[in-house]
Structure 1
Amino acid sequence: MVNTLVNRVNIEVFGDFKTRGHMPKMHGWLSNTNLQRVCLLAVIYVNGIAGDLVIGLHVPQYAFVGDQATLSCSYDLRATRLYSLKWYHNGTEFYRYVPTELNRPIYIKPSHKFYVTELVRNEQQVTLSLTKLTVSASGHYRCEVIAEHPSFRTEASTASMVVMSEPLAPPILVDAREIYDSTDLIRIRCQPRQHPYHGHRPVLQWFLDGSEASAEFVKSYSDGSSKTPGLSLHLPGQQVVAAGGSMKAECRLTLGSRTLNAYKTLRVRVRMISYVGTYHSSATQCEVSVVLRMMCATNLILNLLQLL
């Protein structure tokens, strides 16, 4: 970087003199044009070395009325110090931090849209908590960082947040049964409880025993009455049998950073196979009958336990 900029200075300023074979006298060389070139290259050099001031901005994409949202702005001033850090909502300043103002380094402007509280303030970041959110809190949030004298270099980063008027509700499971046979194809539909939130669609996912279901077992659908499509689970009963006869199915609904769930325990009847008829022994017919009765009773008990 430094060598490149030095070469640019040589070409821009001294190039025509070098072609003549001599260097200029300083009082003749320091013209306005040459000074402007040097200043411009100096600015390019400083900006290139300093890098970005704002290195991280976190604003949740969605929030809900009466709820809380966390905003965070991270910065890197390298060799210089912070002059000020400001937060804006839709162009209006609501938070200001000026370390050099010893009597009042922090200024928080009261607002009917939200209540502001500092969570973290150090040499790398400022994190705020917005509580008692209203619908009016939707919009653009900008963090502005200004470096200390002499550069007063300024950088800003912006992100948007939508505040929903209705709380997020868990999804609904449709067509679920208490117990299935091993030959059944288990079909359960999962859909949002409400219509799309102001045009913002939540994401639906299926999980089986804590792991996301394979794509071959899930399918999107639309019943026509809802503008938000659902997600159905298509699971062979043998998959549950292989897991021991029961499996925990979870439909997960996500909107932004908020996630809600609906659960269903899938149970499949495990059929017992008797080999008494092909087993050759010296047992009497009466003994065989007793064995069959015991196996039927055991099978009945297992089915009753699955229904509990």
Structure 2
Amino acid sequence: MLRTKVLELEKGPAVEMATRSAGGKRHLRCWKTLGWTALLILQMQLTGVSGLKNVRVVSPGAVAVGETAALECQYDLEGAELYAVKWYKGKKEFYRYLPKEDPPTKVFPLPGINVDLSESDAHHVVLRDAGFTLTGRYRCEVSADAPSFDTALVVASLVIVDFPDGEPIITAERSSYAVGEMVRANCTAQRSHPPANLTWSVNGRQVRGRHVRRYPLRRDEGNATTTTLGLEVEAGSGTFRRGRLTLRCQATLLSAYNASAELVIEEERPRLASVLGTRESSSAPAAAASPGAAAASPAAAASPPAASSSSSLPPTALPKTGLFIAAMATVSGYGASVCTFGGRSRLR
């Protein structure tokens, strides 16, 4: 026990001194780190360098298949020097820009990506012959040089599209409808990738809900898809405008495609029968049923008509009122008939 106490007495001061020495070194390192940090902050304030800001990626959103896709990485170094700009598709790097290297650009092979180095720089990367494999998310990583070494990472999406074959096509059951009937039509956008978005409008007002019908997509060759949207609305009394109903179908494909087609439906109205035709058809049977007319001799037909007892006035003394009525009847379309006034024929 005595030996143990002696060892503890001998060991105690040495251990305490060693502990104090190690703690002093740690404190010294901390002070040095704080000092260097303060110097860097002071230098940045004196030189006006505060790091990256306003970093973002500008993407066209949608590009037609076979065309060129240009992505832009915008940033503000606020006076600092650029260290590197790196582009990724997903998690794989395919383009790097290092201003202090010669040449500053470097490409990492990635299937489906064809970088145009002549058009790419510290802010832009240009991809030629866009195929459907280019669809995805793209990241831009910007790093400032010493002393800040600030780094920012931003993301944007790109979609490669195949436009529909021409404008949308509208088909209807008939070209004219009467008030109260159901107007049915279909709108079709042929062969696009991805499927086109279709909307209906009637007389300038968009139609939704139960009035539209979505048909199953039709898969064509390759990645193409044909889209059809149906329309079913009642032709109400206030639907027709000046006897016409305008159907409009609009097809869109992200921000790269916008086309529309229109179809004008005519209003069916009841047709009134011709008064002249009705009188002629009604007088024909009466003439056929008259035996006196059928038995009239040629001599009687050739003889002049006898004068009426009530028509004792000479032809020149015919009242003007009768002539005016006769003219009005003729203009109104009720036909013309022959009347006898004082032995002469007059139209009425």
Q: Calculate the TM-score normalised by the size of structure 1.
A: 0.57
Q: For residue 97 of structure 2, what is the amino acid of its counterpart?
A: Y
Change (3 A) 1:34 1:221: farther
Aligned residue number for residue 211 of structure 2: 219
Q: 1:233 and 1:51 mapped to 2: Cα distance?
A: 56
User: Is residue 2:266 matched to residue 1:268?
Assistant: yes
Distance 2:146 2:72 in 1: 25
- Asked if structure 1 preserves the Cα contact closer than 8 Å seen for 2:184 and 2:230, the reply is no
In structure 1, distance between residues paired with 2:243 and 2:197:
29
Q: How much does 1:68 deviate?
A: 3.5
State how 1:241-256 maps to structure 2 within 5 Å. Answer: 241-242=240-241, 244-246=242-244, 249-256=247-254
Q: Kindly indicate whether the alpha-carbon contact (under 8 Å) linking 1:186 and 1:235 is maintained by their aligned counterparts in 2.
A: yes
| Number of the residue aligned with 1:96 | 96
Q: 1:147 aligns with which of 141, 144, 169?
A: 144
C-alpha contact 1:87 1:95 (8 A) present in aligned 2: yes
1:161-200 mapped onto 2 (5 Å cutoff): 161-163=158-160, 168-169=164-165, 170-175=167-172, 177-181=174-178, 184-193=181-190
**Counterpart Cα distance in 2 of 1:290 and 1:83:** 98
Contact 2:87 2:96 in 1 (8 A): yes
- Counterpart CA distance in 1 for 2:100 and 2:155 is 25
Letter in 1 for 2:72: S
User: What is the Cα-based RMSD across aligned positions, in Å?
Assistant: 4.7
> Is the alpha carbon distance of 1:290 and 1:98 closer, same or farther for their aligned partners in structure 2, counting shifts above 3 Å?
farther
Distance 2:83 2:117 in 1: 18
Counterpart of 1:285 in structure 2 is 329
Larger RCO (CA within 8 A; separation ≥ 6) = 1
Amino acid at match of 1:285: A
CA 1:252/1:140 → structure 2, altered by over 3 Å: closer, same or farther?
same
Cα distance, 1:87 vs structure 2: 1.9
Against the structure 1 CA distance between its residues 160 and 216, is the aligned structure 2 distance closer, same or farther, given a 3 Å change threshold? closer
Give a deviation string over 1:240-269, Cα, whole Å, max 9, x none.
642x55565432222322325351331424
1:119 is displaced (CA, Å) by 9.3
- 1:230 equivalenced with 2:236 (yes/no): no
Q: Distance in 2 between matches of 1:35 and 1:78?
A: 28
Specify the SS of the correspondent of 1:79. Answer: coil
Gaps of 5+ in 2: 1-23, 220-226, 273-323, 336-348
Cross-structure match for 2:256: 258
Separation in structure 2 between the aligned mates of residue 83 and residue 98 of structure 1, nearest angstrom: 6
Is 1:131 aligned to 2:128, yes or no?
yes
The equivalent residue for 1:54 is 55
Query: Which whole-Å CA distance do the structure 2 matches of 1:55 and 1:203 have between them?
Result: 29
In structure 2, which of residues 197, 203, 208 is the aligned counterpart of residue 203 of structure 1? 197
Partner of 1:113: 112
Aligned pair count? 244
Q: Give the structure 2 partner of residue 6 of structure 1.
A: none
Q: Which residue of 2 aligns with 1:4?
A: none
SS of equivalent residue, structure 2 residue 133: helix
Larger radius of gyration: 2
